Amino acid sequence: MSVERPVGGQASGDETFPVSDAEIAVRAKALESLLVEKGLVSADAIDKVVSAYETDIGPMLGAKVVARAWSDPDFKALLLEDANAACEQLGIGGMQGEHMVVVENTDQIHNTVVCTLCSCYPWPVLGLPPNWYKYPQYRSRAVMEPRKVLREEFGLDLDESKDVRVWDSSSEIRYFVLPERPEGTEGMSEEELADLVTRDSMIGVGKPRDPQETR
């Protein structure tokens, strides 16, 4: 409600940090202007980071990993045992991707990933987290009542017989989900399979696309 006074002062040791969007925008601009002026970083380097995450690093990389796992049992075994080694085989890795763990959905188990501490998210395979993932409300509710959150917020109605497991990502371990391979995908190539894999299916709040819909 009220946005009159700064928050997080104790954590950031900073009472002057602005609150309104316009003020924050100016603050960001001032920081960048000074950092560039002092030669601590170039404007170009900043832009490159942003465009990499906007265009090159995203869920399509995770989709490649999932598609390979669906097609190659040896790769899948490695992925479940050592996700980083498996991703490295596909040239995928990097920042915020240390210690990734893949959890497999089966006909009996559904996995969902949250982060109750901050927003730990495997950037190299999924890109940056969606906005809702970063909401504290999502994180706490998903832990308390995952089945209900999945049904009400994401329209994912899980069979009562399925065991729902919620994995809490931390700075040490970042989880992502290996969704179940959809039916009717026999004989599809890895590229075709990758097109079915959504970001939400790798966080465990959705299913892969139905192959009939993408034809």
Q: Interaction with another protein in 68-97: which residues (CB under 8 A)?
A: 95-96
| Torsion over CA: 44, 45, 51, 54 (sign) | negative
Q: Cβ(197)–Cβ(63) under 8 Å?
A: yes
In sequence order, which residues have a C-beta less than 8 Å from that of residue 8 and are 6 or more positions away? Answer: 14, 17
User: What gap in Å lies between CA 138 and CA 169, rounded to an integer?
Assistant: 14
Query: Catalytic site residue 119?
Result: yes
Structure-token pair, residue 183: 């039916």
DSSP secondary structure letters along 50-102: HHIIIIISSHHHHHHHHHHHHH-HHHHHHHHH-HHHHHHHTT---TT-TTEEE
Q: Of 12, 33, 118, 171, which residue is the catalytic one?
A: 118
Answer yes or no whether residue 212 interacts with another protein by CB under 8 A.
no
- Here's the x/- map for another protein, 141-170, by CB under 8 A: it reads as ------------------------------
Minimum distance from residue 50 beta carbon to another protein (Å): 4
Tell me, residue by residue from 101 to 140, as one string, x for binding to another protein by CB under 8 A and - for no binding.
Answer: ----------------xxx-------xx-xx--xxx----
Stretch that binds another protein, among 20-28, 72-80, 141-149, 175-183 (CB under 8 A): 20-28
Nearer to another protein, 121 or 167 (CB): 121
List, in order, residues 6 or more apart from 184 with CB less than 8 Å away.
210, 211, 212
115 part of the active site: yes
Chosen residue from 7, 85, 90, 109 binding another protein by CB under 8 A: 7
Residue in 87, 120, 169, 201 annotated catalytic: 120
20 catalytic per annotation: no
Could you say which of 122, 200, 204, 207 contacts another protein (CB under 8 A)? 200
Tell me, by CB under 8 A, how many residues bind another protein.
72
Nearer to another protein, 106 or 140 (CB): 140
Give the CA angle between residues 117, 121, 127 to the nearest 5°.
Answer: 150
| Smaller CB separation from another protein, 48 or 148 | 48
DSSP 8: -
Catalytic positions are: 115, 118-120
